């Protein structure tokens, strides 16, 4: 009886792992080429990391793991993205208009773009040759997700 239960529990765990893997691959396939698009430059993400540390980390965690505010990478972001089919544009508009919670829309536009670049970098999106602009981030239809390993 106990063995039977343990075996069924093991099967259930394996199934949910498979479902998660499937969901992750589905999210990746939803981007235009099936691999993460390059939306920002390395320098921009580095600038964003500093801004994040001074204006966001106190509520979202030094490592984006969450705190008073939700996690901005990993399984939490993944669940949110799956549930809402959230795009980079939706996500960016929220953070640029509502954040920081204690002073919404208070940063210069280029700083919001840099912070978005940093968040993308921490979720597995690669750097590329073109900087992310505020306008491009606002309009982006790229599905926001966390790529495996991030
Ligand atoms: C004073 C605390 C605080 C600060 C500072 C702060 N946030 Fe938040 N943030 C929150 C809380 C609380 C929520 C959840 C609010 C909600 O769902 O309406 C949130 C939600 C978010 C969300 C939506 C995430 C989701 O899962 O729905 C994003 C994106 C975000 N914040 C980004 C940022 C960024 C980027 C900064 C820095 C510019 C920042 N936040 C600064 C507290 C904060």
Q: What is the mean pLDDT of the chain?
A: 82
Check residue 145 and give its pLDDT: 87
Among 10-14, 36-40, 82-86, 113-117, the least confident range: 10-14
Residue 76 CB burial class (10 angstroms; 0-12, 13-18, ≥19): middle
121 neighbors 127 (Cβ within 8 angstroms): yes
Give the pLDDT confidence of 73-127 residue by residue, as tens digits.
988 888 877 776 789 999 999 999 999 999 999 999 999 999 999 999 999 999 9
Instruction: Give the residue whose CA is nearest to atom 36 of ligand 1.
Output: 56
Give the pLDDT confidence of 115-143 residue by residue, as tens digits.
999 999 999 999 999 999 999 999 999 98
Break the chain into its structural domains and give their ranges.
Answer: 2-139
Unique residue bearing structure tokens 């972001």: 77
**Residue of 27, 22, 48 lying closest to 37 (CA atoms):** 27
* Atom nearest to 102 CA in ligand 1: 1
In the reported structure, the alpha carbon of residue 60 is separated from the centroid of ligand 1 by a whole-number distance in angstroms of 7
In the reported structure, the alpha carbon of residue 95 is separated from the centroid of ligand 1 by a whole-number distance in angstroms of 7
In the reported structure, the alpha carbon of residue 57 is separated from the centroid of ligand 1 by a whole-number distance in angstroms of 10
- Percent share of the chain, pLDDT over 70: 77
In the reported structure, the alpha carbon of residue 23 is separated from the centroid of ligand 1 by a whole-number distance in angstroms of 25
- The CATH class, in words, for 2-139 is mainly alpha
**Residue of 141, 130, 137 lying closest to 110 (CA atoms):** 137
| pLDDT of residue 23 exceeding 50 | no
CA distances from 32 to 36, 128, 146 (A): 9, 16, 16
Does the Cβ of 60 fall within 6 Å of ligand 1? yes
């Amino acid at each position: 009886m106990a063995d039977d239960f343990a075996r069924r529990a093991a099967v259930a765990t394996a199934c949910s792992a498979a479902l998660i893997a499937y969901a992750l691959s589905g999210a990746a396939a939803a981007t235009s080429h099936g691999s993460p698009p390059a939306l920002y430059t390395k320098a921009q993400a580095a600038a964003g990391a500093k801004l994040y540390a001074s204006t966001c980390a106190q509520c979202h965690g030094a490592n984006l793991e969450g705190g008073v505010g939700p996690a901005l990478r990993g399984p939490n972001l993944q669940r949110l993205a799956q549930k809402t089919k959230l795009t980079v544009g939706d996500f960016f508009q929220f953070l640029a208009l509502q954040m920081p919670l204690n002073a919404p829309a208070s940063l210069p536009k280029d700083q919001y773009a840099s912070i978005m670049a940093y968040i993308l970098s921490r979720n597995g999106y690669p750097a590329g040759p073109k900087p992310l602009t505020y306008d491009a981030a606002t309009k982006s239809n790229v599905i926001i997700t966390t790529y495996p390993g991030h």
